[in-house]
Structure 1
């Protein structure tokens, strides 16, 4: 029997390039607050575009190339995500020239932040930097600035990215999750055994949390 006094473990596999990852997280966060469930969140790395070049790619070109999305479909999707984001208190700003970026170094920086208990804070800052402010997350200098803005040490952040000390660790963690069958994000695992994929919506997450609480009693 699960110890109901222990916090509900929630593992979230995601990439800061994924708009539905921040939408899904915001939905889950609202559901958690409403449900008053004791919990602990653990973020894990996933690269949507591991072969993305350093200069990134225009989002419209990227979606057309990867999914065959037409410009009209792309614009409609972005408008929908913007509206959903506003309902959740998150601002998407898909301005002209909005680009997708490679996030391998981003995940390394997040791993480092985790050692200081700040991974969640940095993750949220990176979502905002990318989707709201259109900052270039392919640029290590930008990553260092974002780390500094939330109170992390800029010198150490720069060193982490320069010496790539967590590269192998991040690769191994990515391989672990893909080895578990994770092929898209967001992927949320509750209690280490219940997988939920995609942005489910606040009400669905509330129902999931209720079911989990009943199973834990």
Structure 2
């Protein structure tokens, strides 16, 4: 049986397309895995901050942030958010931009690295996205993040200590350096089997097609190696 195909995903908890892309990738990898013969994927999340200068406690709405800090007219922002909300709904996500609390996400990224060390990264990533985009939760304050960590079975005190000590900040920065080396300037970005890059929240069929291509190439490699040594 072949090893699972490794998927490295650069994303930010504050990125609406990243949660949508997560759902589309899950659907695509499900189509791929459903074909059988041991097809499987292994996912790891990596840190990317869209707005690292954002304060932890931003005084205003998502519309205020995009209009005031990004220079986008408020009417255009509303149209953008309505469009994103509709696309999110099409993949089963009920975004609530009115309740959303815009914040700095570096501590959330540190917590994701802590969760990875505990074997709970995927569960925490889902929980953070859900809290931010659907529940109006705060994912910038360490106390709130510790509560979310506990909700997926992580030790709250250990999670809090890891964030307060910045134990995983170097890991966050290493992810960001790697993203720069890859030329990643937007998320979500998927690196498949270490050699194929897929940018954006592509359709499930696109993800399934790329995974199947990688699987087929893997299957052809032993034959090519055998021919070369003959």
Q: How does 1:1-217 map to 2 (within 5 A)?
A: 5-36=2-33, 37-56=39-58, 58-95=61-98, 98-217=100-219
Report Cα offsets for 1:104-133 as digits up to 9, x if no partner: 111111111111100110000000000001
C-alpha displacement at 1:86, in angstroms? 2.0
SS in 1 for 2:147: helix
Distance, in Å, in 1 between the alignment partners of 2:166 and 2:31 is: 40
Q: Which of 1 and 2 has greater Rg?
A: 2
C-alpha displacement at 1:67, in angstroms? 4.1
Residue in structure 1 matched with residue 222 of structure 2 by the alignment: none
- Give RMSD over aligned pairs: 1.6
SS in 2 for 1:184: coil
C-alpha displacement at 1:179, in angstroms? 2.3
Gaps of 5+ in 1: none
Normalised by the size of structure 1, how large is the TM-score?
0.91
Deviant stretches of 4+, over 4 Å? none
Q: Which has the higher contact order (CA 8 A, sep 6+)?
A: 1
Distance, in Å, in 2 between the alignment partners of 1:195 and 1:77 is: 26
Normalised by the size of structure 2, how large is the TM-score?
0.87
Distance, in Å, in 2 between the alignment partners of 1:61 and 1:179 is: 33
SS in 1 for 2:113: helix
Gaps of 5+ in 2: 34-38, 220-230
